[in-house]
Structure 1
Amino acid sequence: MEHFSGVTLNSNEAMLTAVRNARIPLCISDPNQSDNPIVFANTAFFDLTGYSESDVIGNNCRMLQGEETTPESVAHIRNAIDAERSDTIEILNYRKDGSTFINALQIGPIYNDDGKLAFFFGSQLDITEKKAEEKRLKNLADRELVHRLRNIINVMAVIIRLTGKEELSVKDFSALVIERLHALSDAHIDTITGSEEESATFEDLALSILSAYAPDGDRQFELDGTDIVLPVGLVSCTVLTLHELATNSVKHGALGNLDGSVKLEWRKVGDADGEKLVFVWTETGGPAVTKPSRTSGSDIILKLIRAVDGQITFDWQFAGLIVTVEFPI
């Protein structure tokens, strides 16, 4: 038997010791008392909130709320308590020193042997850093989207210019431009907005993207590799990398020249660290290559590849850019 401020909890000593010493902050309140006060909190709860036992015991958990705590989250908690249901609520809470943290609060009822409501438990999880990382990744994704949209416009302009060099009637020119721009938009929509839960082969992705970007069709590219199904976690990064390489090739490299071409080779290799997907992008027949002074697009790709523990190297050969990418699979 364990007593918390005059309240007796029927439980064994091992369980109580585990709760008391748990790293997850935990408190227990008594809904049978006026204002549902906290009757127990463990050390992790005090460490998280900065409050002492004397500050907490006998007070309602609203003491953790503050000026920027949303009414919606408070109402969500109240509804869960009134309905006697377990629930998880994200709520902005305040420590004793006034600092804030985003709390993934899990609450639920505890019933006695007679099936009557005896207590409510509340476990706290500080997800402030997780939310900050989600915001950072969203901002990165937003910048990547803007970068993609600008590139699409630039690539469209090059495709129209190169198509105009072919000997075509106005009608044929219009039809071919429309066809090529549709292929470009479809490649972006299909490969970038596809479900993250769907796997794909590397060849399917490469063929879709290069078919859309090469102004003169499959004459301008060669694919060479085995049938490799990508893990779902690598699909987005692979797609964005290929889009970036193709975009840069149209704007500055081989695909911006009707005599230029790209060879894309890929294979699966194994070593002491596990299996890797390695692909090599080689451009020939384009303008003379010089290492660019600005690498905003490359910087974005570098961050994405590093996020999946991959590697990318750029070899700025005079005859054409060679890019080697490795992804652990």
Structure 2
Amino acid sequence: MNSKLELHGGAISKPVQLDDIMVQAVRHARLPLCITDPTLPDNPIVYANQAFTELTGYALEEIVGRNCRFLQGPDTTPDSIETVRKILSERRVDTVEILNYRKDGTSFVNALQIGPINDENGELVYFFGSQLDISARRRKERESRELAERELLHRLRNIVNVMSAMVRMTAREESNPAVFASKVIERISALGNAHFDTIGRTDKFGIGFSALVEPILQAYAPGGASQIKIGGVDPEVPRDLISPLTLALHELATSAVKHGALSTYEGKIDLHLRIEEADVPQLCITWQERGGPEVVTPERSSGSEIIQSLTRAVGGTLTYDWQCEGLIARASFPMTELLR
């Protein structure tokens, strides 16, 4: 019996004791697959399934007889190429991410799994290679990292801005240097804790809304808890809403400290929550300021890009209504898993 695989029109007719059912499974698998023959010069491809041709854009006759390196291109890294060579030389099953190129010149990140195929005597007769285009996954991961970095920078800018405002406010109310220093340290510490306690909370689940937001808002309020009123329902906040929700509240509180209700001791903020029943229940939040200086509508669009990006990413909305007596902001977030 021939222990080698024979190619007939791109299909294997007689594998190493593989039956016809296995051959058909490989041929019609949605996962791109190819088989190379290391006993031939330059270890050429001797079989590729239809999914492989669809991924690469090459016809079968353009693939068979060529070494897989024809999929490499200008930005394929030497390290990934060397990893492929090492896996082949060590005859082990392993996976490597490598940048490959289609026939039309477009690139894709290929999670390439390679492994040996031995005959009944344990002798190497073929290598298999399975390809998985993970470009979209890597792009999403990169965008998530970039968004997280922008979020962190935005938080840090907020802290600096609010610290400056708090120092000025405290200086107006306290002439005693010791009392002034004590109040500034206390307020800055509370502000820092309110930010940093929420930066890493995206892996937590089931935290109550009030428990999440009260420390944030009270850290910004010069008069403490008496300036903040939270009413309505008090649902538990799903994990994916923690980051956009807390950052939106930090943004609103920062604005209130700089030129809104929290820039004075007389100012008040009413925060009201309700659940709007729908196919996907919506957490609706109304932020209303009163008692502060007369509001002037900002020249630039309200809200930072980072806040709007995070809100849109979870299917939410955030709008601003600049009334003379105080800002009214309305936010809506889908509660895909509502916890009452």
TM-score interval for Structure 1 and Structure 2 normalised by the shorter chain: 0.7 to 0.9
Alignment pair present for 1:103 and 2:106: no
Q: Which residue of 1 aligns with 2:217?
A: 210
Q: Which residue of 2 aligns with 1:25?
A: 32
Q: Which residue of 1 aligns with 2:93?
A: 86
Q: Which residue of 1 aligns with 2:172?
A: 165
Q: Which residue of 2 aligns with 1:310?
A: 316
Match of 1:321 among 319, 327, 333: 327
Alignment pair present for 1:75 and 2:82: yes
Alignment pair present for 1:288 and 2:291: no
Partners of 1:32 and 1:242 lie apart in 2 by 65
Percent identity of equivalent pairs: 49
Cα–Cα, structure 1 residues 225 and 111, in superposed 2: closer, same or farther, change >3 Å?
farther
Query: Mind listing any 5+ residue stretches in structure 2 that lack a counterpart?
Result: 336-340
Deviations 1:52-105 (A, max 9, x none): 323322322122123321121122223333444433321111233444222222
Following TM superposition, by how much is the alpha carbon of 1:116 offset from its aligned partner in structure 2, in angstroms?
5.2
Contact 1:265 1:281 in 2 (8 A): yes
CA RMSD of aligned residues (A): 2.6
Match of 2:228 among 221, 224, 243: 221
Q: Which residue of 2 aligns with 1:3?
A: 6
Q: What aligned pairs does 1:108-257 form with structure 2 within 5 A after superposition?
A: 108-112=115-119, 117-192=124-199, 194-199=200-205, 200-257=207-264
Deviations 1:105-156 (A, max 9, x none): 2233445556655433222222334434444444444444333322222111
Find the residue that maps to 1:196 and give its secondary structure. Answer: helix
Contact 1:162 1:258 in 2 (8 A): no
Contact 1:147 1:297 in 2 (8 A): no
Contact 2:228 2:268 in 1 (8 A): yes
Which residue identity is paired with 2:84? I
Q: How many residues align?
A: 327
Contact 2:256 2:262 in 1 (8 A): yes
Partners of 1:108 and 1:195 lie apart in 2 by 41
Query: Is 171-180 or 159-168 further displaced after alignment?
Result: 159-168
Find the residue that maps to 2:331 and give its secondary structure. Answer: strand
Partners of 1:100 and 1:57 lie apart in 2 by 21
Partners of 2:117 and 2:303 lie apart in 1 by 55
Match of 1:261 among 261, 264, 268: 268
Deviations 1:18-45 (A, max 9, x none): 4323333221223454543222112222
Query: Mind listing any 5+ residue stretches in structure 1 that lack a counterpart?
Result: none
Find the residue that maps to 1:125 and give its secondary structure. Answer: coil
Match of 1:13 among 5, 11, 20: 20
Q: TM-score, normalised by structure 2?
A: 0.85
Q: TM-score, normalised by structure 1?
A: 0.88
Find the residue that maps to 1:262 and give its secondary structure. Answer: strand
